[in-house]
Amino acid sequence: MAKNDRVHFGSKLGVILASAGSAVGLGNIWRFPYETGNHGGAAFILIYLVCVLILGIPIMISEFLIGRRSRANTAGAYQKLAPGTHWRWVGRMGVLVGFLILGYYSVVAGWTLEFIGESATNSFAGKSAADFIASFNGFVGHPWRPVAWLIVFLMATHFIIVKGVEKGIEKSAKIMMPLLFILLIILAVCSISLPGANAGIEFLLKPDFSKVDGNVFLGAMGQAFFSLSLGMGCLCTYASYFRSDTNLPRTAFNVATIDTLVAILAGFIIFPAAFAVGIQPDAGPSLLFITLPNVFQQAFGNLPWLAVVLSLMFYLLLAVAALTSTISLHEVVTAYLHEEFKLSRSKAATLVTAGCIFLGTLCSLSLGIGKECTIFGMTLFDLFDFITAKLMMPIGGFFIAIFTGWYLDKKIVWEEISNNGTLKVSVYRLLIFILRYIAPIGIALIFINELGFLK
Ligand code: TRP
């Protein structure tokens, strides 16, 4: 496609909100709290912050510059910038990873809709801890309910994608992101003001390094990649719609800051409330769907209308955050099919939606009637999470760092980062150093350690 006919985001705010919309999602509000809970709280958060700073932001800048320079979908981008080389496999792998993530991500996204319904009808009222476990397991194992919600969620994503980049992605982000911030702040204030919330705040702020092992590093790195939407060309695809005057380093910094703030605010919603009612926050993936409804019930049970309003707000927040992210994952695959196979945008989108419904259904059923069939001891759902977040995204990030740090002509890198010399970028050298050495070596070390060679 020629440079000029390609669609663009309309405004600077649109660029930031759409990219932040991709980054802020279930990763921040669902995955971050349970990983933090499992890995000992503040110590995990500190390691996570280091990962965001030295791996996340540099790799995000790389993805931005690859996307904007090539003005193509992520597979096409490598073909343009490195024609005839094997680099195109990095792009193609990204498209595949995007498809896999969307498959299991929309399962959890669908759950949020069920929980919006349950909150609205006040069906948490009067339940005991055991009831919450039983009703969640009953729902997840139900043969069609979670699948139906997953389809509804993917159809909503589809609807926005076919409206296009400016009228669909950008406009929806401009509505949903402010809503998300408002909900977050209200909920965090309520949670912190509960009597006994201090223990939760302490858990978030006081590091306990005795729980730190190799696993924690891999967990923090995987979480950073997942939460910032990195390592598979998602932000690369969005950047192909950036305008030529978008400041790439600043945008990356802003997006990473927003994403991290949202994750920490989500922690300030969940942990103070959980500790206030004496519930341990280490439940893993079911934290938000078993522990939290119970927390709402116990904390506000004597004010039933408040319990309804707050839990409704919370699951709405989750659904909105998830939607802006599924849109970005969908766009990666849709743009690829649209541009590489010359399908119309709506045909491409339909194929992606249909494929994801199929994959999502398999993942969803793997938690219910298919619970017995495991691969490497994991259900299909857990396997997808492991393969994407803990393996393929860091591997993708490794190659993206090598591509920009070593392969790509430094003139191109400089032109993109400084907008052809019009911006003063004081961190340019540091950035190249990180991309050449720190990021690849850091990722490799975390992997090797995880595989047990350093023990
Ligand atoms: N970052 C999103 C979240 O935190 C999920 C997501 C969207 C994502 N696009 C991605 C994860 C690309 C990995 C890669 O929920």
pLDDT number for residue 3: 47
To test the pocket of ligand 1, the residue of 111, 169, 227 to mutate (highest count of ligand atoms within 8 Å of its CB) is 227
pLDDT number for residue 28: 94
Q: Is 267 in the pocket of ligand 1 (CB under 6 A)?
A: no
Residue 31 CA, ligand 1 centroid: distance in Å = 11
Residue 421 CA, ligand 1 centroid: distance in Å = 32
Q: Is 329 in the pocket of ligand 1 (CB under 6 A)?
A: yes
pLDDT number for residue 82: 97
Residue 208 CA, ligand 1 centroid: distance in Å = 28
Catalogue all structural domains in the chain, each as residue range(s) with its CATH number. Answer: 3-450 (1.20.1740)
> In whole angstroms, what is the distance from residue 356 CA to residue 33 CA?
26
Q: Is 293 in the pocket of ligand 1 (CB under 6 A)?
A: no
Residue 451 CA, ligand 1 centroid: distance in Å = 25
Rounded average pLDDT per 10-residue block, the chain, 455 residues: 71 95 94 87 94 96 98 97 96 96 94 95 87 90 95 98 96 94 91 90 89 82 93 96 96 97 94 85 79 83 86 93 97 97 97 97 89 82 85 93 97 97 93 96 81 54
Residue 186 CA, ligand 1 centroid: distance in Å = 24
Atom of ligand 1 nearest to the CA of 329: 9
- Helix 248-276 to helix 198-205 angle (10° resolution) is 140
**Could you tell me the pTM of the whole model?**
0.94
The residue nearest atom 14 of ligand 1, judged by CA position, is 229
Q: Is 328 in the pocket of ligand 1 (CB under 6 A)?
A: yes
Q: What is the DSSP string of 260-329?
A: HHHHHHHHHHHHHHHHHTT--S--GGGIIIIIHHHHHHHHHTTSHHHHHHHHHHHHHHHHHHHHHHHHHH
To test the pocket of ligand 1, the residue of 176, 227, 229 to mutate (highest count of ligand atoms within 8 Å of its CB) is 229
Q: Is 263 in the pocket of ligand 1 (CB under 6 A)?
A: no
**Both tokens assigned to 158:** 């589809």
pLDDT number for residue 338: 97
pLDDT number for residue 453: 53
Q: Is 260 in the pocket of ligand 1 (CB under 6 A)?
A: no
> In whole angstroms, what is the distance from residue 269 CA to residue 266 CA?
5
Q: Give the burial string for 157-171 (b: 16+ CB within 10 Å, else e).
A: bbebbbbebbebbbb
